[in-house]
Chains A and B, each alone.
Chain A
Amino acid sequence: MKQFLYLIVVVLGFTVAGCSGDSSDDEMRPEIPDGGGNGGGGGAVEFDRGAMLAHWADFIIIPSYVGFLDDFADVNAAFDTFRGQPDATSLENLRAAWLESYKRWQWISMYEIGPAEQEGLRLNVNTYPTDTDLLEQNAASGSYDLDLPSNRDAKGFPALDFLLNGLGDTEEAILMAYTDGTSGPRYFDYFEDVLTDIETRVQRVADAWVREYRDIFVANDGASSTASVDRFVNDYIFYYEKFLRAGKMGIPLGVFTGTPAPNTLEAYYLPGIGNDLFLQGLQAVQDFFNGKAIDGSGTGESLASYLRALNTVKGGEALDEVINSQLNMARDMVRSLQAFKTEIEENNPPTDMLLAYDEVQRVVPLMKVDMVSAMSIAIDFVDADGD
Chain B
Amino acid sequence: MIPAIKTYLNRSTETAPLAVFRIFFGLMMLISIIRFWAYGWIEKLYLEPEFHFSYYGFEWVRPLGVWTYLLFGVCGLSALMVALGYRYRLSMVVFFLSFTYIELMDKTTYLNHYYFISILSFLMIFLPAGTYFSVDAWKDADKRFQFVPKWTVDSLRLLLGIVYVYAGLAKLNSDWLVHAMPLKIWLPSKFDVPLIGPLMGREWVHYAFSWGGALYDLVIPFLLLYRPTRWVAFALVVVFHTLTRVLFPIGMFPYIMIVGTLVFFEPRVHYRILGFFSRLLRIDAGVFDNWAVLRVSSKVASRLKLGFLGLFFAFQLLFPWRYVLYPGELFWTEEGYRFSWRVMLMEKAGYAQFRIVEGETGRWFYVDNSDFLTPLQEKQMSFQPDFILEYAHFLRRHFETTGKRDVQVYVQCSVALNGRLSKPYIDPDVNLAEERESFRHKTWILPFEDEIKGL
Selected A-B contacts with CB under 8 Å, 13 pairs: A10-B238, A11-B238, A11-B259, A32-B192, A39-B198, A313-B203, A369-B416, A370-B422, A373-B419, A379-B349, A380-B379, A383-B44, A384-B249
Inside 8 A of B269's CB, which chain A residues have their CB?
4
Query: Within 8 Å of chain B (Cβ to Cβ): is A297?
Result: no
Q: 0/1 per residue, B92-130, Cβ < 8 Å to A?
A: 000000000000000001011100000000000000000
A166 CB, min distance to chain B CBs, angstroms = 28
Inside 8 A of B249's CB, which chain A residues have their CB?
22, 384-386
Query: Within 8 Å of chain B (Cβ to Cβ): is A262?
Result: no
Query: Within 8 Å of chain B (Cβ to Cβ): is A201?
Result: no
Query: Within 8 Å of chain B (Cβ to Cβ): is A387?
Result: yes
Interface residues of B (CB under 8 A from A): 35, 39, 41, 44-45, 109, 111-113, 179, 184-186, 188-194, 197-199, 201-204, 206, 231, 234-235, 238, 242, 245, 248-255, 258-259, 269, 272, 343-344, 347, 349-351, 353, 356, 358, 363-368, 374-376, 378-379, 382, 414-416, 419-422
Whole-angstrom CA separation of A379 from B347 in the bound complex: 13
Majority DSSP secondary structure for residues of A touching B? loop
B227 CB, min distance to chain A CBs, angstroms = 15
Inside 8 A of A29's CB, which chain B residues have their CB?
192
With A316-B419, A387-B111 in contact, is A382–B197 under 8 Å at CB?
no
B233 CB, min distance to chain A CBs, angstroms = 12
Would A36 and B191 count as touching, CB distance under 8 A?
yes
Whole-angstrom CA separation of A3 from B190 in the bound complex: 30
Query: B357: nearest residue on chain A (CB-CB)?
Result: A258
Would B201 and A382 count as touching, CB distance under 8 A?
no
Contact of B194 among A32, A322, A368, A386 (CB under 8 A): A32
Would A43 and B202 count as touching, CB distance under 8 A?
yes
Query: Within 8 Å of chain B (Cβ to Cβ): is A345?
Result: no
Inside 8 A of A19's CB, which chain B residues have their CB?
35
Q: 0/1 per residue, A7-26, Cβ < 8 Å to B?
A: 10011001100110011100
Contact of B112 among A227, A316, A370, A387 (CB under 8 A): A387
With A11-B238, A37-B202, A374-B185 in contact, is A224–B353 under 8 Å at CB?
no
Inside 8 A of A224's CB, which chain B residues have their CB?
192
Contact of B191 among A34, A319, A368 (CB under 8 A): A34
A43 CB, min distance to chain B CBs, angstroms = 3
Would A319 and B189 count as touching, CB distance under 8 A?
no
Not counting A257-B365, A364-B351, A377-B189, a sample of 15 additional A-B residue pairs whose C-beta atoms are within 8 angstroms of each other reads A11-B255, A14-B255, A22-B251, A35-B191, A45-B201, A49-B191, A223-B191, A250-B366, A255-B366, A316-B420, A361-B353, A365-B422, A369-B422, A373-B185, A387-B250
Interface residues on A, range: 35 or more
Contact of A369 among B41, B189, B378, B415 (CB under 8 A): B415
Would B421 and A37 count as touching, CB distance under 8 A?
no
With A372-B349, A382-B379 in contact, is A14–B242 under 8 Å at CB?
yes
Residues A220-246 near B (CB distance < 8 A): 221-224, 227
A354 CB, min distance to chain B CBs, angstroms = 10
Inside 8 A of A10's CB, which chain B residues have their CB?
238, 242
Would B41 and A3 count as touching, CB distance under 8 A?
no
A327 CB, min distance to chain B CBs, angstroms = 16
A97 CB, min distance to chain B CBs, angstroms = 36
Would A319 and B238 count as touching, CB distance under 8 A?
no
Inside 8 A of A387's CB, which chain B residues have their CB?
111-113, 250, 343-344
Would A30 and B194 count as touching, CB distance under 8 A?
yes
Query: A35: nearest residue on chain B (CB-CB)?
Result: B198
Top 5 A-B pairs, shortest CB-CB distance: A43-B203, A37-B201, A385-B251, A376-B189, A380-B375
Would A369 and B192 count as touching, CB distance under 8 A?
no
Inside 8 A of A366's CB, which chain B residues have their CB?
422
Whole-angstrom CA separation of A227 from B191 in the bound complex: 12
Would A386 and B250 count as touching, CB distance under 8 A?
yes
Whole-angstrom CA separation of A316 from B351 in the bound complex: 20
A291 CB, min distance to chain B CBs, angstroms = 19
Would B365 and A256 count as touching, CB distance under 8 A?
yes
B202 CB, min distance to chain A CBs, angstroms = 4
Whole-angstrom CA separation of A224 from B247 in the bound complex: 11
Whole-angstrom CA separation of A379 from B377 in the bound complex: 12
Would A386 and B111 count as touching, CB distance under 8 A?
yes
Residues A268-288 near B (CB distance < 8 A): none
Query: Within 8 Å of chain B (Cβ to Cβ): is A181?
Result: no
Whole-angstrom CA separation of A224 from B192 in the bound complex: 8
Q: Determine which residue in A222, A255, A386 has the highest number of CB atoms from chain B within 10 A of its CB, and name it.
A: A386
B265 CB, min distance to chain A CBs, angstroms = 9
Would A382 and B375 count as touching, CB distance under 8 A?
yes
Would B349 and A256 count as touching, CB distance under 8 A?
no
Would B189 and A223 count as touching, CB distance under 8 A?
yes
